[in-house]
């Protein structure tokens, strides 16, 4: 009888120990899972950096940094630039003005640079914390820097003359961006700019330099050519002088942002 009692006691003790160990291990797993869930839910990754893939085809490098302020609201600062170099699509421009040799020569030696800064505020309607569909308001300041434009005018005394044009054009616009941001993995994300119309104003100041001092007659002839410059919806104020010419442009500016960006979330 005593042996049976001791045997039963031993069995119960082993079952109790095994049960305790299983419960402890189970509790540990549950606790660790809760921590993981809590970290994902209450400590989401709130930062990401991105580079635009579609703009690279135009030698335009666009970068963004995004910070989630809350589940639904994020702020983004973007910077983009085109290194100073040959005017893009020069061959296509020449094809469009193939019947005008002077216009073809206009951009033969021209160089163009570009930079823009774009802050925006995003409102996420889906999952949040930088994920899902969003609507954003944004402001953009951009500047073009162009040099080496060859402006040809007809001089009745000496034939055709050239002046070397260059200057800067800046624009300030406001817009509304529609887009969606997706996870591609634990850290990789894809930002789809579906459509982002923006509109504002622009202002440009350009100077044309002659390689010699122009006579009054030559200035008058140059002024006739400057008066022919027309830009849609823009005001052009062009004046000839002894050193060449000045051209001031002002008017509306607009466009649509769209494309794909690849990013890293942290």
Query: Domain residue spans in the chain?
Result: 1-43, 48-265
* Best-predicted range by mean pLDDT (15-19, 95-99, 159-163, 243-247): 243-247
Q: What is the DSSP string of the chain?
A: -HHHHHHHHHHHHHHHHHHHHHHHHHHHHHHHHHHHHHHHHHS---EEEEEESGGGGGT-EEEEEEEESSSSEEEEEEEEEEEEEEPTTHHHHHHHTTT-HHHHHHTSS-EEEEEEEEEEEEEE-SS-SS-EEEEEEEEEEEEEEEEEEEEEEEETTTEEEEEEEEEEEEEEEEEEEEEEEEESSSSEEEEEEEEEEEEEEEEEEEEEE-SSPPPHHHHHHHHHHHTT---TT-EEEEEEETTEEEEEEEEEEEEEEEEEEEEEE-
Which pTM does this prediction carry? 0.77
Question: Would you place residue 91 in the very low, low, confident or very high pLDDT band (cuts 50, 70, 90)?
Answer: low
pLDDT tens per residue across span 187-201: 999 999 999 999 999
Q: Residue 250 phi/psi, 5° resolution?
A: -145, 150
208 pLDDT above the threshold of 50: yes
Instruction: Select the more confidently predicted residue: 57 or 206.
Output: 206
How confident is the model at residue 96, as a pLDDT? Answer: 61
Please, what is the average pLDDT of the chain? 83
Question: Would you place residue 87 in the very low, low, confident or very high pLDDT band (cuts 50, 70, 90)?
Answer: confident
5 pLDDT above the threshold of 60: no
Percent of the chain with pLDDT over 90: 62
69 pLDDT above the threshold of 50: yes
pLDDT tens per residue across span 123-160: 999 899 999 999 999 999 999 999 999 988 887 666 78
């Amino acid at each position: 009888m005593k042996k049976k009692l001791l045997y039963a006691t031993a069995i119960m003790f082993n079952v109790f120990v095994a049960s305790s160990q299983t419960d402890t291990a189970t509790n540990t797993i549950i606790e660790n899972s809760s921590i993981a869930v809590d970290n994902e839910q209450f400590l989401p990754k709130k930062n990401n950096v991105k580079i635009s893939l579609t703009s690279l085809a135009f030698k335009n490098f666009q970068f963004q940094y995004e910070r989630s302020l809350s589940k639904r609201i994020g702020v983004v600062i973007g910077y983009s630039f085109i290194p100073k170099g040959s005017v893009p699509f020069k061959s296509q421009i020449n094809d469009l003005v193939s019947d005008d040799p002077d216009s073809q020569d206009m951009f033969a030696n021209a160089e163009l640079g570009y930079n823009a800064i774009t802050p925006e505020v995003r409102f996420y309607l889906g999952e949040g914390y930088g994920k899902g569909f969003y609507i954003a308001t944004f402001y953009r300041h951009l500047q073009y820097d162009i040099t080496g434009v060859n402006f040809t005018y007809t001089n009745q005394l000496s034939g055709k003359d050239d002046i070397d044009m260059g200057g800067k054009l800046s624009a300030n616009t406001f817009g509304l961006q529609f887009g969606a941001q997706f996870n591609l993995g634990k850290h990789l994300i894809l930002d789809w700019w579906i459509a982002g119309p923006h509109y504002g104003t622009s202002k440009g100041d350009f100077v044309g330099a002659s390689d010699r001092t122009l006579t009054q007659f030559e200035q008058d002839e140059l002024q006739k050519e400057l008066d022919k410059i027309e830009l849609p919806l823009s005001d052009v104020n062009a004046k000839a002088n002894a050193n060449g010419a000045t051209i001031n442009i002002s008017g509306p500016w607009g466009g649509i942002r769209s494309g794909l960006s690849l990013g890293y979330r942290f």
